[in-house]
Chain A
């Protein structure tokens, strides 16, 4: 059983469209991190959210941490081909320092 469930698993859209991907859990997380991984490379950290209800923006990307700190979302506005990649959420729950990753959402943005 995955501690962090990500949806959708795959997403294929056209350039200019908006999209939202989700990261859900039944556990409370002290923080959640979002990474993007491109083929043949390691994941790169995009953002860390810590406070319930927190919203962070990174250019066209908007990250939200749920009030109960059990879920998070990533919204991309006007997607570009450069946004293509695997989006992973990660966190540690229950006071643990051991990070757990979700399975990721694979995004393809067509020009």
Chain B
């Protein structure tokens, strides 16, 4: 089966600019996650979707970050405006079902550098 697809792989922007990331999960996977992974740390969950509804976005900086999954399939994550501390790898993952035991399948991420 095809894995989780993410694009772009790399992005370099200046602070205060906007950027968007795209994720296409594994076909049939109902749950989609966006994570932020800063160098030297584990992934931090930003937002979790169940189909096209938001399950949790408690750690999403909503003043600058937004995400949508309109048709319950692919998803976009946007940052506007970007800050220096947003430099990180943004990982998308999907799982077939919903729950703590569900194995998550990750994409290779988008590496964002803010100048």
- Tell me the A residues contacting B by CB distance below 8 Å: 4, 6, 29-31, 33, 40-45, 48, 50, 88, 90-92, 96-104
Contacts and interface: CB of A to CB of B under 8 A. Distances in A.
A44 B56 CA distance: 23
B42 A103 contact: yes
Q: Is the interface of B mostly helix, strand, loop or mixed?
A: loop
Contacts of B43: 43, 88, 101
B51 interface: no
B108 A42 contact: yes
Given A42-B107, A48-B103, A104 B42 contact: yes
26 contacts: A4-B42, A29-B100, A30-B101, A33-B104, A40-B108, A41-B108, A42-B4, A42-B91, A42-B106, A42-B108, A43-B104, A45-B103, A50-B101, A88-B42, A96-B100, A97-B55, A98-B56, A98-B58, A99-B33, A99-B100, A101-B43, A101-B44, A102-B42, A103-B40, A103-B41, A103-B42
B101 A31 contact: yes
